[in-house]
Amino acid sequence: MLKNILSVIGAIAIIGIIVAYISFGPKVSKLDPAAIGLYMQMAEDVMNTGDAAASMVKVVPLEEGVSTEDAIESIKSVAAENNMLIVNDTIMFRSGEKDYAGNTTRHVQIISLCNKQIAREFMDYSKAFGAFMPCRIILMEGKDGAYYLATMKLDLMIAGGHPLTPEMHKMALKVADTMYEAVDKGAKGDW
């Protein structure tokens, strides 16, 4: 009896694999080779934390003694070294101010960076890329009073769909490397 039950379960599993392959195999084979691994890692992160946004963001705390001014100067320095323009620098909230509801705010500042040539190439490739531009870094004061820098992880933008052309892949990696360098150096006040 157990042997028959296991045989039925095995048959159902094999049928499921065949159906999945027929349904998704051709589509999956067109994706960048790294795509499935990236989506699996994102799914694992979401299941572990319950926070989809956190799985798509790189957050780095400012090191002790690094001022917000030093962090911002470092970000701007990295941007300039890597041919990225600062297209916006907005303080949304200042620490200790009251918002419209009378709540005390924590510091939130958003720095937006862009390389116009790369932006044009990617929007020509897909209009959807425009919604992710410009690249942003947020400097925020946490509930704990510490400061953090955060930027989007760009892995899925780079390798989550069909493979980019070699030229576009190189440009995308340059942007990602610049954003991560800006966050890492900003957290250290390194400029």
pLDDT tens digit sequence for 139-170: 999 999 999 999 999 998 899 899 999 999 99
Q: What is the pTM of this model?
A: 0.82
Which residues lie closer than 8 Å to 159 by C-beta, 6 or more apart? 32, 33, 34, 35, 38
- Ramachandran area for residue 79 (φ above 0: left; ψ -120 to 50: alpha; else beta): alpha
Which residues lie closer than 8 Å to 104 by C-beta, 6 or more apart? 96, 97, 98
Q: How are strands ordered across the β-sheet holding 147-152?
A: 57-61, 147-152, 135-141, 108-114, 85-93
Task: Of 74-78, 86-90, 97-101, 134-138, give the lowest mean pLDDT range.
Answer: 97-101
Share of the chain above pLDDT 90, in %: 59
| One-letter amino acid for residue 54 of the chain | A
Backbone angles phi, psi at 98, to 5 degrees: -100, 140
Distance separating alpha carbons of residues 185 and 105, to the nearest angstrom: 26
Distances (CA, A) of 14 to 9, 10, 18: 9, 6, 6
Asked if 185 and 74 touch (Cβ cutoff 8 Å), the reply is yes
pLDDT at 5 over 60: yes
Distance separating alpha carbons of residues 36 and 87, to the nearest angstrom: 34
Q: What is the average pLDDT across 173-184? A: 97
Six token digits for residue 137 = 């870094």
